[in-house]
Amino acid sequence: MRRTTKIALILVSCIILFVVGTYMRYTVFAPTLQEIENVQTFNKGTIEYVSQGIVYKKATYVTQPDHPTTKPVKKGKFVGKTKRGLQVYQVENHDDQLVATGFMFPDEVYTKSLQSKKE
Residue-number span of the structural domain to which 18 is assigned: 1-30
Same domain, yes or no: 24 and 41: no
Domain count, the chain: 2
Q: Dump the DSSP string for 38-105.
A: S--EEEETTEEEE--EEEETTEEEEE-TTS---SPPPEEEEEEE-TT--EEEEETT-TTEEEEEETTE
pTM: 0.70
Same domain, yes or no: 56 and 22: no
Q: Could you report the per-residue pLDDT of 1-46, keeping only the tens digit for each?
A: 789 999 999 999 999 999 998 888 777 777 888 888 767 777 777 8
Same domain, yes or no: 9 and 58: no
pLDDT for position 119: 44
Average pLDDT over the chain, rounded to whole?
A: 82
